[in-house]
Amino acid sequence: MRLFVVLLLAALCLPAQLRVIAIGAHPDDCDLGAGGLAAKLTAMGHKVKFVSVTNGDAGHQSMGGGALAKRRRAEAQESGRRLGIEYEVMDNHDGELLPTLEIRLDLIRRIRQFGADVVISPRSNDYHPDHRNTSILVQDTAYMLMVPNVAPDTPPLKKNPVFLHFQDRFKLPSPFRPDMAIDITDVYSKKIDAMDAHVSQFYEWLPWIEGYLDEVPAGKEERKKWLGGKRGARPITPAVRAALEKWYGKERAAKVQQAEAFEVSEYGGQPDEATLRKLFPMVGN
């Protein structure tokens, strides 16, 4: 299977190993938005990296600061181990993220060093200021990635990656547009396994702040099963279903139980349908 993918990509003038970097605001954001995609791509021999721009040191009801940051970094590393990817946590404070030049340059260096073909981040309309500012930071790296005199200590990329956004529920100023949707039904358990590593978030903090802490089961297997039903699933909206039909056909799309969807940013490389098929080899031709 891997040999077939290598030959196919060579014929399409893409690197044999696609390199996809997902950048979220907090350690667990990328798991939610692209955990299934990461599982799919790594199984096909491609390279995926998750980056959290903050260290998550504010996201808990009973602990914080350095102790929480250390815990969340360890959770992210365990999630990465379960997915078979590198998971990097930057040392910026949770809840205080601003789109500064310093952080932008840091991200430019990281994306260049990774040699990204695809960069994924949140959209800039979101309830959390860290999410919004992560979006701004990542979008502001586009184009600059190819400028030699910006962050000159790191060689520029020769082409602009394709920039994508994670699926979200926000409507203003514009709703999420699913330009690509992938079937992750067969790797959904692997996505949940990765999310399960973020114990402080999915079993403690998020249930507490959203008011359903009493619903979290006590046993490890029971709570993982609960997580798969309560938190891991992205909604297959009518728009996402239509995107699945576009990429897989109606018959296959009708069978999809779990999916992840992505919107193409107006910044970065502008892919046509053929290019998107190359960047998402799991959807076929």
- Quick: pLDDT tens for 50-106: 999 999 999 999 999 999 999 999 999 999 999 999 999 999 999 999 999 999 999
pTM: 0.93
The CATH number linked to 205 is 3.40.50.10320
Per-residue model confidence (pLDDT) at position 231: 72
Contact 110, 118 (CB under 8 A): no
Q: Containing domain of residue 162, as a range?
A: 2-283
Q: Where are the alpha helices (DSSP H) in 23-100?
A: 29-43, 65-83
User: How confident is the prediction for the chain on average, in pLDDT?
Assistant: 94
Q: Which residues contact 112 (CB under 8 A, 6 or more apart)?
A: 145, 151, 154, 155, 156, 157
CA distance 69 to 53: 12
Q: Look at the chain and report how many structural domains it folds into.
A: 1
Per-residue model confidence (pLDDT) at position 268: 95
183 forms bridges with which residues in the sheet?
259
CA distance 47 to 45: 7
Q: What is the pLDDT of residues 210-268, one digit of tens each?
A: 999 999 999 999 999 999 986 778 899 999 999 999 999 999 999 999 999 999 999 99
Confidence band, pLDDT 50/70/90 cuts, at residue 4: very low
Average pLDDT over residues 28-44: 98
